Amino acid sequence: MGTENLGFEARCLLRAAAAATLATAAEGQPFASLVTPGTAPDGAPLLLLSSLSEHTRQLRAEPRCALLVSGTPESANPQTAPRVTLTGLAEPVPEPEVPALKARWLAKHPYAAMYADFGDFALWRIRPGGALLVGGFARAHRIRLADLMPAPGAVAAIEAAAADIIVHVNADHADAIAAIATGLLGGAPGEWRMAAVDVDGADLAAGEEVRRLAFGAPVADPGGVRAELVRAAREGRSRTG
């Protein structure tokens, strides 16, 4: 598998993860904690962290950290699960970027709306430095930053069109989104809508249930998003008869 494909596979795992393990350190002592990541349009992990938590205090003193996310194992052996460990530097998101990035994080974690604006919570971003992708048992690949991150031009093109794509899809193609969410992604019947979209896929939500649609490959423009949604809707409908 090419390095670009490995980067895409790693990003898909990161974007799909509802929970992750964050590794920090204090005076040389490692510390691990449960966090709930989202991702920025370029795939950088986003974390909503309380200033009262141990890991936040540690990140302020030492921003070097690692994030581990894991997929579904192929068997009873947990080692068969695909997983990625991303290393990088954590930083609070600058205030001008907070509204848009917090909206993306909440698209992944809608249940958190009740506390996301509390004064002790702040949005953080991990600036990636590289990653280790383990595709399953004894299948490990180191991924350079250049291969991990998507093409900047494609990120910008999709981000510029994202709001219009979401409005159009939810207004005119709600049936297709429902077919994808229930037929392809295993979601329960409900009022499904697109909550976010990026070069690698889309987050679909019904209430507090969120399902991630991974595209077959990264897209470069809105036409690529449309083609992936058409393909996914066709497959979802075929599975539900």
Contacts of 137 (CB under 8 A, 6+ apart): 77, 79, 80
Q: Compute the distance between CA of residue 209 and CA of residue 195 in angstroms, rounded to an integer.
A: 11
15 with 115, same domain: the answer is: yes
Residue that terminates a domain, selected from 133, 149, 165: 149
145 and 173 together in one domain = no
Structure tokens at 49: 């962290």
Same domain, 145 and 157: no
Residues 112 and 193 in one domain: no
- What is the distance, to the nearest Å, from the Cα of residue 184 to the centroid of all Cα atoms in its chain? 18
Note whether 130 and 196 are same-domain residues.
Answer: no
- CATH code, domain with 204: 3.20.180.10
* Residue 147 confidence (pLDDT) above 70: yes
What are 102-136's pLDDT values in tens digits?
999 999 999 999 999 999 999 999 999 999 999 87
**CA triplet 12, 15, 19: central angle to 5 degrees?**
120
The pLDDT, as a whole number, for residue 126 is: 98
Mean pLDDT calculated for residue range 137-166: 95
pLDDT number for residue 86: 98
Single residue among 95, 127, 149 that ends a domain in this structure? 149
What's the pLDDT tens digit per position in 50-65? 999 999 999 999 999 9
Q: Are residues 190 and 84 in the same domain?
A: no
- For 64, the domain range is 3-149
Alpha helices by DSSP H, 37-83: 54-61
137 pLDDT above the threshold of 80: no
Structure tokens at 4: 């670009």
**Distance separating alpha carbons of residues 133 and 10, to the nearest angstrom:** 6
- pLDDT at position 173: 97
Number of domains in the chain: 2
Same domain as 137, residue 170: no
Q: For the domain that residue 18 is a member of, what is the CATH number?
A: 2.30.110.10
User: What average pLDDT is seen over the chain?
Assistant: 96
9 and 121 assigned to the same domain: yes
Q: Are residues 143 and 159 in the same domain?
A: no
Q: 3-state DSSP call for residue 239?
A: helix
* Region label for 147, one of left (φ > 0), alpha (ψ between -120 and 50) or beta (otherwise): alpha
Q: Are residues 12 and 60 in the same domain?
A: yes
The answer to whether residues 23 and 131 belong to one domain is yes
pLDDT at 1 over 60: no
User: What share of the chain in percent tops pLDDT 90?
Assistant: 92
Tell whether 131 and 214 lie within a shared domain.
Answer: no
* Domain stops at, among 149, 170, 191: 149
Q: What is the pTM of this model?
A: 0.95
